[in-house]
Amino acid sequence: MKNGKLQVAIVGCGGIANQKHLPSLKSQADKCEMVAFCDIIPERAQKAAQEYGTPDAKVYTDYHDVMKDPAIDVVHVLTPNVAHCPITVAAFDAGKHVMCEKPMAATTEDAQLMMDAWKRSGKKFTIGYQNRFRNDTQMLHEACQAGDLGDIYFAKAHAIRRRAVPTWGVFPDKSKQGGGPLIDIGTHALDITLWMMNNYEVESVTGSVFEKLGHLPEATQGNMFGPWDPDKYEVEDSAFGFIKMKNGATIFLEAAWAINMKESREAACTLCGTKSGAEIIGGMSKAEGEYDLVFNKTSHGRLTEETLSAGGSIAFFEGGGSGRPEVIECNQWLNAILNDTEPLVKPEQAFTVTKILDNIYRSAREGREIKF
């Protein structure tokens, strides 16, 4: 630390850095300062350093050089998915705290290496699941913790976009991302669903993965981010998982960047309990004015619904505001380091998410149920 502030290094200065992490860290100027920026494209690192760094911020193109600086306390790993593991392991081996963007890794094996390095280091570790910090997810989690739903035995994790294939960066590049919508947005839906259920004991996974629309030129019409290039589309366009927990509870996970389905529901979940049910309507795909959270139960012999406008379900990062999920996430992460407390998103939980996603892909490839 310097002047009572955590010294933060940014590895990966692309979209997620500029949309989420850099504005959020800037809003916590009383707790941290950004002193190093690393990217394989030097111009990106230089631009980020000029806009967000200290006057003497350093610029790197090799993350190994970042780790050699003993003054750096915290590393934010904001690269494509397949690079999460080596950078995170190097950071822990150098004695740094690590915030890694979701998902933890592209494979279970990489995630395990990250977990091992974290445990050796004694440092703090968290994964960027900012959707836990939305108002609607916080309200629903409080209800689940209080036992309002009873025993939650069935759930759906929703990550459906009708046509919203990301056309920037390396999203359609399987060699860098490890997959498509399942690993990109399905990871958020699964994270909040498991968190609501407080159940991370998996029995088995069965998956189906489809590459039906990604290579069709006509399917690119109407895409939110403009047409993608079908010839360079290397990942699935939709995927589905059937997850059975050791206590018999079941989760159905749906994820798509492009699918012929009318309703979009992203970073949302449906929960069915013995006392009542609940669902987040829309989640990150919520249109302006729609409600976020609905509880359903029986009362006085009647079926009833309680609809709450929780707010905080924002479709895309808009930076800065203190009430925004990514800013709250950043604040609690830095406080966890400064106060030696646990971050809300625990590494063990994020590891389970990665293991499930990895085995949905594996189940689809091998055409069988995967036992944990």
pLDDT value for 331: 97
Averaged pLDDT of the chain: 94
Q: Would you say residue 361 lies in a domain? A: yes
Q: Would you say residue 171 lies in a domain? A: yes
Question: How many folded domains does the chain comprise?
Answer: 2
Task: Determine whether 47 is exposed, middle or buried from the number of CB atoms within 10 Å of its CB (0-12, 13-18, 19+).
Answer: middle
pLDDT surpassing 70 at residue 20: yes
Element (H, E) at 157: strand 152-160
Q: Would you say residue 326 lies in a domain? A: no
Q: Would you say residue 226 lies in a domain? A: yes
Read off φ and ψ for residue 58, nearest 5 degrees: -100, 150
Whose tokens are 């200065």? That residue is: 13
pLDDT value for 321: 55
202-210: strand order across its sheet: 302-308, 293-299, 277-280, 265-273, 152-160, 250-256, 238-245, 202-210, 370-371
Q: Which of 111, 130, 118 is nearest to 94 (CA)?
A: 118
Q: Which of 91, 87, 96, 102 is nearest to 16 (CA)?
A: 102
pLDDT surpassing 60 at residue 313: no
Q: Would you say residue 342 lies in a domain? A: no
pLDDT value for 312: 46
Give the pTM. Answer: 0.94
Same domain, 140 and 116: no
pLDDT value for 269: 97
pLDDT value for 234: 97
- Please state the rounded mean pLDDT for residues 229-249: 97
pLDDT value for 318: 47
Same domain, 99 and 191: no
Same domain, 119 and 139: no
CA torsion angle for 33, 39, 41, 42 (degrees, to 10)?
50
Q: Would you say residue 80 lies in a domain? A: yes
Same domain, 244 and 156: yes
The pair of structure tokens assigned to 293 is 């959270």
pLDDT value for 290: 55
pLDDT surpassing 70 at residue 285: no
Helices (H) and strands (E) in the chain, counts: 12, 15
- Write the CATH number for 269: 3.30.360.10
| Helices of type H across 71-131 | 84-93, 108-121
Domain hosting 357: range is 132-321+353-371
Same domain, 267 and 359: yes
pLDDT surpassing 60 at residue 287: no
Read off φ and ψ for residue 143, nearest 5 degrees: -65, -40
Same domain, 153 and 287: yes
CB atoms within 10 A of CB 359: 23
Among 123, 148, 177, residue at a domain's last position: 123
Same domain, 275 and 200: yes
Among 91, 123, 155, residue at a domain's last position: 123
Same domain, 141 and 58: no
pLDDT surpassing 50 at residue 131: yes
Confidence class for position 252, pLDDT limits 50, 70, 90: very high
Amino acid identity for residue 366 in this structure: E
C-alpha pair distances (Å), 323 with each of 14, 24, 65, 105, 135: 24, 11, 35, 28, 9
C-alpha to C-alpha distance for 233 and 221, rounded to whole angstroms: 15
